[in-house]
Amino acid sequence: MAIQIFGSSKSFDTKKALRWFVERRIPVQGVNLKDKGISAGELESVISCLAKTCDSPRQAGTSLASSPVFKNS
């Protein structure tokens, strides 16, 4: 199972993250959000993971809603 990195193909930070995993020979998959977007199932998975690390699921949803990635969707 590879790590998925969601971002833009032109983003310096996305390229840097992909390069970091490749240099360490860790399987990684880059997903260009401008071309493909994020599916409902992937979004639920992200929210579920954030809910585990935040104090409450509501806090996780709030942080996603304020993200610039999801404002355009």
- In this prediction, residue 20 carries a pLDDT of 96
Instruction: Encode the chain (73 residues) as per-residue pLDDT tens digits.
Output: 789 899 999 999 999 999 999 999 999 999 999 998 888 998 898 888 888 877 654 554 555 555 555 544 4
Extract the tokens encoding 16.
Answer: 């840097």
* Contact residues for 44 (Cβ-Cβ < 8 A; gap 6+): none
DSSP H helices in the chain? 12-23, 40-53, 57-65, 68-71
Let me know if 31 is exposed, middle or buried by CB neighbors in 10 A (0-12, 13-18, 19+): middle
pTM over 0.95: no
